[in-house]
Structure 1
Amino acid sequence: MKNLLLTFALALTTLFSFSQDSKTSITVTIDNVTSDKGTVKLSLHTADTFMKGKGLMSTQSKIKDGKITVTFENVKPGDYAIIAFHDENENSKMDFRENGMPLESYGMSNNSMAFGPPNYNDAKFTVADKNLDLNIRF
């Protein structure tokens, strides 16, 4: 009987721990891309990676009729921000004018578009236990 109770308790604890480690998905739609030429590249960031290099996850999508939809799968709960840009010439980098202004369209989560470089606190959102649908505007 003691072994049965111990086994039951262990099974219950294991199930509870799996439910605490739930992962969700983030589906991002951009529906105002200026042309179908090139791809849209997106990356998921934390405060530690935002505007400092490679994100935690990255993806890209071909454009159809000025629209893309991508999904980041198995995202752990926490605070994140998404940066997206239209890589029209498909050189895998954001292109800039001589004065530092972007040549290619870009956007970020929460559609925060202030003058100057993007700010993580303006773009961040929280992932909890439900899947998210986000719309980013260029």
Structure 2
Amino acid sequence: MRALTTLSIVLFLTMNFSNAQTEKSGNTITVTIENITNNNGSVLLSLHTKNTFMKGAGIKNEKSKIENGTVTVTFKNVAPGTYAIMALHDENENNSMDFDDSGMPKESYGMSNNPMSYGPPQFAYAKFEMTSKDLEMDIRF
């Protein structure tokens, strides 16, 4: 009887532990960029809220090697909310955007919603709503 009780406790704890490992606390956002001009360097992607947009690192940050001019990155466990994604082709692997003497970007970049802007990126144009469903999006450089 004691062995049966011990076995029951072990099975209960094992089942609870394995369920805790597979439980997720949010959904995923899968981003694909297909028009990268070369395979040099990597692509840096960051998930931002209004408070972090254009102010530094995002709340989630990913880095991906480029294969055949394409990257696909997944942000995992993203809670519902309003976000924007910024992407940079970091050709020289210095982890930042490079600018020419006139202040224009030397490296390709893009944002969620693919807005066409002639100035600094704006959260209002790049924002999207994350609900309780997984998202897939394409970003163009």
TM-score range normalised by the length of the shorter chain: 0.7 to 0.9
Instruction: Give the aligned length.
Output: 118
1:109-120 aligned at under 5 Å gives the runs 109-120=112-123
- The CA deviation string for residues 70-115 of structure 1, in whole angstroms up to 9 with x for no partner, is 0000000000000000000111110001111000000000001200
Question: Within the alignment, does 1:62 sit opposite 2:69 as a pair?
Answer: no
How does the TM-score come out when normalised to structure 1? 0.84
Ranges of 4+ aligned residues in structure 1 off by more than 4 Å: none
Within the candidate set 108, 125, 131, 2:111 is matched to 108
> Which residue matches 1:32?
35
Within the candidate set 70, 74, 81, 2:77 is matched to 74
> Which residue matches 1:121?
124
Question: Within the alignment, does 1:44 sit opposite 2:25 as a pair?
Answer: no
> Which residue matches 2:18?
none
Contact 1:94 1:102 in 2 (8 A): yes
Question: Aligned partners of 2:116, 2:82: CA distance in 1, in Å?
Answer: 19
Aligned AA (1:112)? P
- The CA deviation string for residues 24-53 of structure 1, in whole angstroms up to 9 with x for no partner, is 100000000000010000000000000011
Question: Within the alignment, does 1:90 sit opposite 2:90 as a pair?
Answer: no
How does the TM-score come out when normalised to structure 2? 0.82
The alignment yields a C-alpha RMSD, in angstroms, of 1.1
Partner SS state of residue 46, structure 2: strand
Contact 1:39 1:88 in 2 (8 A): yes
Contact 1:84 1:106 in 2 (8 A): yes
Partner SS state of residue 27, structure 1: strand
State the identity %. 58
Aligned AA (2:63)? Q
Question: Aligned partners of 1:99, 1:137: CA distance in 2, in Å?
Answer: 24
Question: Within the alignment, does 1:136 sit opposite 2:109 as a pair?
Answer: no
Structure with larger Rg: 2
